[in-house]
């Protein structure tokens, strides 16, 4: 009875996972058909027979969405997530910008303070041209370097002004890659794990039933004597 | 279930998908008249809207930014574009290569392409990378062929 309850609870969990799997499959199908439709629309409206396909792939492409796998809980079922490297980089960039913005203000304050204090001691006019050049060089080093990062957006393989349907296709594809696919794979992994548990529980139940049968036979034999 | 070393470096998704085989740029080695005929055929089909020209599984997924080509002398792609000329052995070797690579966590493969190497896909049982069959433009998702649903049926004794 105890074994049966455990199996029932596992089956209940398994069926809820199956339901989620089917829903995710449906979502993936919808998103992908949206992607295909929009790519087809972009190809249809493309100038001079431009085809938005493999001919324009960047041979130096780098992934901007990468996978993160961690094992959740004691059951050690892998959980898949997608990380956007560009967003991470932008976040860090913003932090750097904030620091850079706050620094010059502080720097200016320091400069004004020191200028007030040292103005009499070392006026700018008294400096030699060599010293002035050195100061300029130091100031140039202090300024935050503005390096232009190469865009890794796949949309730019097809030019800077990609058509709207292609942008829509990208949005739908991102949705599929970030939300549906990792969840689908995680649910699949969890289903595999529950399947193993169900099979184990069924074996235990079968063993318990066999032991109970043996005991019953033994009791019958004793009674017959 | 799996050791941490099995998955900690796996950060890419690999794709084996279909793509249009009728592209004007693919006919660069053809005679100019043949090329023109191809272009006209493509234009005609574009307007007829009856014959699907493009099957853009790979392009669609790469637009999301999962495509990656490694640097170095032996640049490795994490995607394979399958067209009408691609041989089954090439698909098999790409599948083997993707499932053996230590930096790939998920292999996405079109269901109808997986059918071509069904024995290989069904006999693959490793936890990482995990294989996910996805629908394509002309071949919608078929639950009958889904390995997960087959597992479900087996569990319930069908």
If you measure CA to CA, which chain A residue comes closest to B55? A36
Strand-pair partners of B81: B17
Cα B71 versus chain centre, distance = 22
Which band of pLDDT confidence, cut at 50, 70 and 90, is reported for residue A71?
Answer: confident
A195·B42 Cβ contact <8 A: no
Segment A172-191, tens digit of pLDDT = 999 999 999 999 999 999 99
> Greater confidence, A136 or A53?
A53
Contact A67 B127 (CB under 8 A): no
- Residue A34 pLDDT class (50, 70, 90 cuts): very high
Residues of A in contact with B63 (CB under 8 A): 35, 154-155, 166, 169-170, 173-174
Closest Cα in chain A, distance from residue B116 (Å): 21
Q: Are A43 and B128 in contact (CB < 8 Å)?
A: no
Per-residue buried b or exposed e for A152-183, using 16+ beta carbons within 10 Å of the residue's own CB: bebbebbeeebbebbebbbbbbbbbbbebbbb
pLDDT digits (tens, 9 = 90+) for A1-26: 778 899 999 999 999 999 999 999 99
Q: Are B15 and B78 in contact (CB under 8 A)?
A: yes
Scanning the structure block, which residue is given the tokens 């008249």?
B33
> Is the CB of A152 inside 8 Å of chain B's CB atoms?
yes
pLDDT higher for A50 or A21? A21
Please state at what angle helix A2-45 crosses helix A164-175, rounded to 10 degrees. 170
Distance CA A214, CA A117 (A): 99
* A189 vs B: CB within 8 A: yes
Q: Which residue has the higher pLDDT, A128 or B148?
A: B148
CB B33 within 8 A of CB B128: no
The beta-strand segments (E) located in B19-154 are 79-82, 104-110, 130-134
Give the integer Cα–Cα distance in Å for B146 and A131: 75
**Tens digits of residue pLDDT in B102-127:** 899 999 999 999 999 999 998 998 88
- Assign A70 a pLDDT band (cuts: 50, 70, 90): confident
Question: How many interface pairs between A and B have CB atoms less than 8 angstroms apart?
Answer: 164
Whether pTM exceeds 0.90: no
Q: Is residue B12 within 8 angstroms of chain A, CB to CB? A: yes
The share of chain A scoring above pLDDT 70, in percent, equals 72
Residues B68 and A65: their CA atoms lie apart, in Å, by 10
Work out the percent of chain B whose per-residue pLDDT is above 90. 41
Q: Which pLDDT score is estimated for B51?
A: 31
pLDDT confidence of A28, banded at 50, 70, 90?
Answer: very high
pLDDT greater than 50 at residue A103: no
Integer Cα distance of A70 and A80 in angstroms: 7
Q: Which residues of B touch A21 (CB under 8 A)?
A: 148
Q: Is B151 on the interface with A (CB under 8 A)?
A: yes
E-state strands within chain A? 65-72, 77-84
**Among B112, B95, B84, which Cα is nearest to B26's?**
B84
Among B40, B111, B117, B65, residue whose Cα is nearest residue B86: B117
The answer to whether A36 and B137 are in contact (CB under 8 A) is yes
Test B67 with A176 for CB contact under 8 angstroms. Answer: no
Q: pLDDT-derived band of residue A138, with 50, 70 and 90 as boundaries?
A: low
pLDDT at residue B21 tops 60: no
The mean per-residue pLDDT over the stretch A199-210 comes to 92
Where is pLDDT greater, at B15 or A25? A25
Model confidence over B50-96: pLDDT tens digits? 233 346 889 999 999 999 998 888 889 999 999 888 899 999 999 99
What's the CA angle centered on B97, arms B96 and B99, to 5 degrees? 65
More confident residue, A108 or A176: A176
A173 and B60 within 8 Å at the Cβ level: the answer is: yes
- Of A25-29, A37-41, A107-111, B130-134, the one with minimum mean pLDDT is A107-111
Kindly give the interhelix angle for A181-224 and B147-155, rounded to the nearest 10 degrees: 10
Tokens representing residue A49 in the block? 């027979």
Look at residue A46 in the predicted model and tell me its pLDDT.
79
Nearest to B148 among A63, A176, A191 (CB): A191
* pLDDT for the residue A33: 93
Please give the residue of chain A at the shortest CA–CA distance from B127.
Answer: A189
B19 neighbourhood in chain A, CB within 8 Å:
53-54
User: CB of A208 within 8 Å of any CB in chain B?
Assistant: no
**Consecutive H or E run containing A164:** helix A164-175
What is the four-CA torsion angle of A28, B19, A35, A160, rounded to 10 degrees? 140
């Amino acid at each position: 009875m105890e074994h049966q309850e455990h199996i029932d609870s596992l089956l209940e969990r398994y069926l809820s996972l199956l339901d989620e799997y089917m829903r995710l499959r449906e979502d993936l199908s919808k998103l992908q058909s949206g992607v295909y439709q929009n790519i087809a629309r972009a190809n249809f409206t493309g100038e001079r027979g431009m085809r938005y396909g493999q001919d324009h792939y960047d041979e130096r492409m780098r992934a901007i969405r990468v996978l993160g796998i961690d094992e959740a809980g004691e059951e050690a079922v892998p959980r898949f997530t997608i990380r956007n490297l560009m967003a991470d980089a932008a976040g860090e960039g913003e932090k750097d910008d904030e620091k850079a913005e706050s620094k010059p203000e502080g720097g200016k304050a320091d400069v004004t303070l020191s200028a007030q204090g040292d103005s009499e001691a070392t006026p700018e006019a008294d400096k030699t041209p060599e010293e002035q050049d050195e100061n300029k060089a130091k100031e140039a080093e202090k300024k935050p370097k503005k390096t232009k990062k190469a865009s890794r957006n796949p949309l730019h393989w097809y030019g800077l002004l990609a058509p709207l349907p292609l942008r829509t296709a990208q949005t739908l594809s991102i949705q599929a890659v970030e939300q549906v696919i990792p969840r689908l794979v995680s649910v699949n992994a969890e289903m595999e794990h529950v399947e193993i548990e169900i099979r184990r529980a069924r074996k235990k139940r079968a063993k318990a039933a066999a032991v109970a049968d043996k005991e019953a036979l033994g009791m019958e034999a004793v009674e017959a004597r | 279930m799996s050791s941490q070393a099995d998955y900690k470096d796996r950060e890419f998704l690999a794709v084996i998908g279909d793509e249009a085989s009728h592209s004007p740029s693919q006919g660069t080695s053809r005679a100019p008249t043949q090329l023109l005929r191809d272009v006209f055929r493509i234009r005609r089909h574009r307007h007829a809207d009856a014959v699907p020209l493009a099957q853009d599984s790979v392009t669609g997924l790469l637009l999301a930014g999962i495509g990656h080509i490694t640097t170095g002398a032996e640049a490795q792609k994490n995607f394979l574009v399958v067209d009408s000329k691609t041989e089954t052995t090439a698909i098999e070797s790409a599948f083997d290569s993707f499932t053996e690579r230590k930096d790939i966590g998920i292999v996405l493969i079109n269901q109808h392409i997986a059918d071509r190497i069904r024995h290989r896909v069904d006999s693959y049982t490793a936890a990482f990378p995990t294989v996910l069959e996805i629908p394509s433009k002309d071949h919608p998702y078929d639950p009958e062929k889904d390995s997960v649903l087959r597992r479900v049926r087996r569990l319930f004794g069908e």
